[in-house]
């Protein structure tokens, strides 16, 4: 069955979305054109406005309508510390935890040569430039504890070490309130490896 040329074009365009194949695109197209043209207008306008107005923050790479995002502009933050995360969601999770008041750098992914994602795609040159500018004393690598996250952290450590900056990796391990029996053995062994000495204060 053939659809009209513009209908076909819309079906094809929708397939740029991740996880949307020809069947889903067909369903979405027919829904918009047959059942919800108002919704379609809203979608089309929101998409165009976002494409025109949203860019990457020049300092942390998060999506923003400003050249530099609000968090990076906030002078109550400790701009000498930079926490490197994979995604804006990771940044949000750390923010919600309330335990960190420094700046962030969002890679928007991790190293994945198979998918063509290398240092340039992750903004590594911008990160190194920012560290070289001299205001940063510590870079905290908070990439995921997955294999790709570890590989990315390892690569960044190699790049950052010559720059006379403290490079640290977040400790991983046992979630607060959990029992040993319920933790996977990898997390448990990481927790043991990343142990910290308990400081007894002697006056």
Member of 57, 84, 85, 106 binding Zn ion (CB under 5 A): 57
Contacts of 127 (CB under 8 A, 6+ apart): 84, 105, 156
Q: How far is CA 102 from the centre of its chain?
A: 16
Give which of 65, 56, 160, 158 is closest to 109, Cα–Cα. Answer: 56
Task: Please report how close the Cβ of residue 127 comes to Zn ion at its closest, in angstroms.
Answer: 12
Q: Which of 11, 25, 28, 60 binds Zn ion (CB under 5 A)?
A: 60
Q: Please state the closest distance from residue 66 (CB atom) to Zn ion, in A.
A: 9
107 binds Zn ion (CB under 5 A): no
- Of residues 32 and 81, the one with the C-beta less far from Zn ion: 81
* Half-sphere exposure at residue 172, Cβ-oriented, CA atoms within 13 angstroms: 17
Binder of Zn ion out of 72, 107, 139, 153 (CB under 5 A):
72
Cβ neighbourhood burial of 105 (10 Å; 0-12, 13-18, 19+): buried
Nearer of residues 32 and 57 to Zn ion, judged by Cβ: 57
What is the token pair recorded at 102?
């420094």
| Least spacing, CB of residue 70 vs Zn ion, in Å | 8
Residue nearer to Zn ion on the CB measure, 59 or 130? 59
Q: Which of residues 13-52 bind Zn ion (CB under 5 A)?
A: none
Q: Is 143 exposed, middle or buried (0-12, 13-18, 19+ CB in 10 A)?
A: buried
In the complex, minimum distance from the CB of residue 120 to Zn ion, in angstroms, rounded to a whole number: 19
Q: Which residues bind Zn ion (CB under 5 A)?
A: 57, 59-60, 69, 72
């Amino acid at each position: 069955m053939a659809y009209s040329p513009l209908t076909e074009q819309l079906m094809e365009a929708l397939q740029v979305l991740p996880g949307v194949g020809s069947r889903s695109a067909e369903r979405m197209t027919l829904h918009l054109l047959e059942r919800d043209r108002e919704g379609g207008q809203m979608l089309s306008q929101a998409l165009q406005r976002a494409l025109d107005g949203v860019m990457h923050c020049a300092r942390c790479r998060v999506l923003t309508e400003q050249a530099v995002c609000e968090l990076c502009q906030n002078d109550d933050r400790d701009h000498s510390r930079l926490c490197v995360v994979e995604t804006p969601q990771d940044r949000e999770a750390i923010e919600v935890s309330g335990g960190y008041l420094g700046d962030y750098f969002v890679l928007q992914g991790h190293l994945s040569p198979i998918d063509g994602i290398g240092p340039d795609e992750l903004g590594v040159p911008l990160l190194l430039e920012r560290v070289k500018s001299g205001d940063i004393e510590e870079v905290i690598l908070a990439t995921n504890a997955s294999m790709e996250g570890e590989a990315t952290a390892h690569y960044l450590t190699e790049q950052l070490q010559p720059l006379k900056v403290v490079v640290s990796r977040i400790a991983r391990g046992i979630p607060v309130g959990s029992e040993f029996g319920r933790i996977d053995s990898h997390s448990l062994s990481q927790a043991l490896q990343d142990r910290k000495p308990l400081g007894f204060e002697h006056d």
